[in-house]
Structure 1
Amino acid sequence: MGRSRFHGEIFGVGTSSGVRIVIGHWTRSPLGEFTDVMIQFSGGHRLLLAPDEDVREFVTATYTFDDVSLTPVGFTRVGDTVSVNTDDLRLSLRTGRSTALGTLLAMVPSTISTAPWFCRISDPIARVVLRGVRTRGSAGNDRREYYGAKHQHRILSATASWRGEDLGHLTPVTPPVTFGFGSTPAAPSVTSITTTIDTP
């Protein structure tokens, strides 16, 4: 069995057009530093925006999409403002204070909160407290996946457009996205996280 660990952040936002966007910004991973974007449109169509073939191959072996686009993915952060830009997507969001959950997570040593055994323990709690959220589960190709959250902050505002069309104002991530076994929290947020993936 092989084990891969991805350290970074996951941003989850909804828009009044019904489009939900999940951004993974990974600062340390077996694939180096990269950003990928998962989009689920109002009709349910699921799209992955991947910066290169290696990311595309790994992510599509773990999650389920209806379509994939290879495109440069730019990620910038200035203060509390984060911008993500691709050929078709323009997204700018502003982060705020820690959530109540984020404050609790920060009290747990990261060596514990990111350990797969802790994710197994926290999964039943996450299912009840955060609708659609899971901290462990079965991914594609018989992979096992564990989400070890270390901190969480609110997302206060967001502007987004797709191929020049405005996607509307910020809303909760509802209905939950269906790329894998779990969704991001419904409340727009950014979670500092270590994702562990075990492959057979």
Structure 2
Amino acid sequence: MGSRWTFDGHIAGIGTTSGLRAVVGIWQDSPFGSFSDVMVQQPSGHRLLLAPTPEVAGFIAATYSFDEVRVVDVAALLAGHRLTVDAGPLEIRAVTGARTRLGSVLQAVPRRLAVHPRWLAAVNPLAALAAPGARTYGTAGSGRAEFYGVTDLHHVTSAVVTWEGANAGTLSPIRPAVTFGFSSVPPRPSVARVRTTVVEA
């Protein structure tokens, strides 16, 4: 086994009626310190990474697939039930609801087990049934493998999303699924507590 990188924080998935879909990573602890990034898939299918530094952009772009990468100021804050994101052309103001039923089930699994790569590889088939499009384990770019350990989940109940100053439409399911990597976020907009582990063979 080669290098290993661990990212601890939250992932928010947002869909809009215009077809714009965004996946926001809010990382409290990572090899790059605390940072946020946004993966955007436009209605045309164009995949764009918005990252705060060239170093972060290089790592993410080597792990996932994008048509365009931009280094911009990215500010994302999850406080209570409110999510705010300002990332170059993208602005999100969202509200989350109570913990979901799946979130309660996830919380029942001891965290040390729930984020362990072996456990995540074993439960991967079940993850696809619980949240269509989502996976807990798969191969990534640059000969890497990736593990998603989700330990909590809250639905997004409302959101105002603008792209380049224009309203992107009302909150909507994330359909079609995003195609940055082997896994999408759940179809229903949500915020997940997650530990992501990337390993290099």
> Structure 1: which 5+ residue stretches go unaligned?
none
Give the TM-score normalised by structure 2: 0.97
- 1:22 match: 23
Distance in 1 of aligned mates of 2:127 and 2:106: 12
Greater Cα offset, 125-134 or 5-14: 125-134
Residue 87 of structure 1: how far off its partner (Å): 2.4
Distance verdict in 2 for CA 1:192–1:103, change over 3 Å: same
How do residues 19-98 of structure 1 correspond to structure 2 at under 5 angstroms? Answer: 19-98=20-99
Please say if 1:122 is aligned against 2:123.
Answer: yes
Bigger shift: residues 122-131 or 48-57: 122-131
Instruction: Specify the SS of the correspondent of 2:23.
Output: strand
What is the CA deviation profile of residues 48-91 of structure 1, one whole-angstrom value per residue up to 9, with x for unaligned ones? 00000111011001000000110000123443111100221111
CA distance in 1, matches of 2:54, 2:113: 33
Q: Which shifted more, 71-80 or 106-115? A: 71-80
Q: How many residues align?
A: 200
Query: Which secondary structure does the structure 1 equivalent of 2:104 belong to?
Result: helix
Q: Return the TM-score normalized by structure 1.
A: 0.98
**Which position in structure 2 is the counterpart of 1:149?**
150
Q: CA deviation digits over 1:115-138, x for unaligned, max 9?
A: 001101110011122211110000
Partner of 2:8: 7
Q: C-alpha separation between the residues in 2 aligned to 1:30 and 1:122?
A: 26
1:128-139 matches, within 5 Å, as 128-139=129-140
Identity of aligned residues (%): 41
User: For residue 32 of structure 1, what is the amino acid of its counterpart?
Assistant: G
2:162 matched residue in structure 1: 161
Secondary structure of the corresponding residue to residue 74 of structure 1: strand
Q: Any unmatched runs of 5+ in structure 2?
A: none
